[in-house]
Chains A and B, each alone.
Chain A
C-alpha cells in the first residue's frame, strides 16, 4: 500500500472536512448555472414587487422598497439553502456518499461541506441582492456594525436552514424529489411571513402563524437593522430559533446519514 501521511484522528477529521469543503466551494466557481439559478429568480421577484405589486401595499411610514429588501433577501437565502438538499440527493444518487462511506474517513463531512458551500453562496447572493436593491431605490441606514450583525444573522439562518435542507436531501434520495420537498417547506415559511406585506393585514389564524414563525423574526430583525427602526426582541428570538433548529437538525441529519442503507 502507498504510505499515507500520519496524523491523529482529530486532525484527520479536520483535513477530511476541509477537503470536502473545498469540493463544495469549487462547485460555486465551476457551476455558474448554480449561482445564476439562485440569483435570477429573487432579482425578478424584487423587480416584480418593487414595481408591480409594491404600489398597492401599504407599509406605514417606510417606503415599500426599504420594506421589501430584507424580506426578499431572507427568502432568497432560504431557497438558496436548498442547494444542500440538491447536492446531498445528487451525491446519494450518484453513489458518491456510498463511496465516501466505504472509506476510512469522517464521511459526514461531505454534508457539512455542502452546508459551508451554502454559507459562501448565500453571502455572494446577498451582496448581489442588496446591490440590486440599491439600484431600484433601496436606501439603508445601517451602520457598519449593523451590517456585520445583518451578515451574522443571515449566515446563522443559512446554517440552520442548510442542515434542515440536508435532512430533506437525505430523505428525498433523488434530486427531483428535492424540488417539491423544498418548495413545500420553504414556500409557506417565506410567504406566510412579514417578507412582502405587513402581517397586520392577514386573517387571524395566518397572522398568528406569520408573526411567530422563525422566518418572520429573522426578516424583522434584518429589516430593522437595515432601515434603522427599533429591532425589539426580533434579533434574539431569531438567533434562538436558528440555534434551536441547528441543534435539532444536525444530529437528525447525522443519524439519517449513518442510517442510510442500513448501517
Chain B
C-alpha cells in the first residue's frame, strides 16, 4: 500500500509534559484521515512535526517519501499547511496574498497571478479578491488561508482544525471545499474536535488521546465498537439510580446521574432489550422513558476514553 504519511513511534515532550507518547499512524495516498481528539491530545503537535516546524524527540515521520528531520526541505516542497489561525496578511488584498504565496512557492509571476485568480474563483472569493483581508469575515479568511496552502498544488495537505471557530454556514462551505480537494487525489490529514466533521470528511478516523492513537478505522468500523444500537433509559427515581447501574452492568456506555439517564450498547434485538428491562424490574428500578439511537462518534469517543471530546469546546 502506498502511504503518503508514515509515523512510527513518535515522541515529543515539552519540558515535563509528554505530548506524544509513541504515536503510530499511516495515511494512504489520496485519502483523508481525520485525527480526532480533545484539546491537548497532541493533534497540533503531530501536525507541527509533520510540517517540519517542530523536531520530534524520537521516532520517525515520513511525508511523501521524505523524512521530516533529515530531509525537511523536500517535505516542505510537498506540503500545504493550514493552521488554526488564518495566516494571511491583513493589509494586503486576497489576490495580493495569494499572488505573494504563489511567488514564495516559486511559481513564475504569470503563473502566480493566474493561480491566484483561479483559486479565488474556486473558493468563492472572486469578488472579495480586490479587498483588503482586514475586511473579511472569519469564514472568508479561513478559505483564503486554505487557498494559500494549495497554491502550488501540493500532494499532501495538513489542515489543523480547519473549521474551529466558524459559524455553521462557513463550516459547511469549508467542508464542500475540502471534499473537492479529495477528488483531486490529494492526501489530507486533518485534525478536528468535531465528530461530525470527521464523519463527514474522512475515509479513516484515528482517535488520539494523551499522545497516542487509541483507535483507527472507518466511521462505521468505529461505531460498531459500541454496538449497533444505543439504548437510552431514563430512571424514575434518583434513589434507585445506583441499583439501575448495577443491573445493566456489562453493556453500560455512560450515565448521567443528574439527568437520571443510562446509556447501554445493544445489538438492537428485542430479546436483548427485554432482558435488560427485566433485570431492571427485578432490581425494583422504575424506568420512565426508553429510546433507541444509532451510535455516534461521540459514543465511540466516550467508550474509548471515558471522557467527552468536545467538552472544552462546548464551554466556549
Contacts and interface: CB of A to CB of B under 8 A. Distances in A.
A5 B107 CA distance: 5
Interface in B87-107: 87-92, 96, 100, 103-107
A51 interface: no
Contact of A1 (B90, B108, B152): B152
Chain B CB within 10 A, most for which of A3, A30, A31, A103: A103
Specify which of B52, B115, B155 lies most central, judged by the most chain A CB atoms within 10 Å of its CB. Answer: B52
Interface in B77-133: 77, 79, 81, 83-92, 96, 100, 103-108, 111, 115, 132
B51 A102 contact: yes
Given A27-B91, A96-B89, A99-B87, A15 B53 contact: no
A5 B90 CA distance: 28
Contact of A102 (B79, B84, B90, B152): B79
B53 A26 contact: no
A16 B104 contact: yes
B107 A4 contact: yes
Interface residues of B, number: 40
Interface in B139-182: 148-149, 151-155
B230 interface: no
B223 interface: no
A94 B81 CA distance: 14
A98 B91 CA distance: 19
A52 interface: no
Given A23-B89, A30-B91, A96-B87, A101 B104 contact: no
A105 interface: yes
Interface string A1-44: 11111010000100110011011001100110000000000000
Interface string A58-71: 00000000000000
A30 B132 contact: yes
Contacts, number: 94
A43 to B, nearest CB: 24
A104 B48 contact: no
Interface residues of A, number: 32
Given A94-B86, A100-B104, A2 B53 contact: no
Contacts of B86: 94-95
Contacts of B43: none
B55 interface: yes
Interface of B: 48, 51-55, 73-74, 76-77, 79, 81, 83-92, 96, 100, 103-108, 111, 115, 132, 148-149, 151-155
10 closest Cβ pairs, A-B complex: A95-B87, A104-B76, A4-B106, A99-B87, A5-B108, A30-B91, A104-B77, A102-B51, A95-B83, A95-B85
Interface of A: 1-5, 7, 12, 15-16, 19-20, 22-23, 26-27, 30-31, 93-96, 98-105, 261-263
Given A22-B100, A103-B105, A262-B55, 18 more contacts: A2-B107, A2-B153, A4-B106, A4-B152, A5-B106, A23-B100, A26-B96, A30-B132, A94-B88, A94-B90, A95-B84, A95-B85, A101-B53, A102-B79, A103-B76, A104-B77, A104-B106, A263-B55
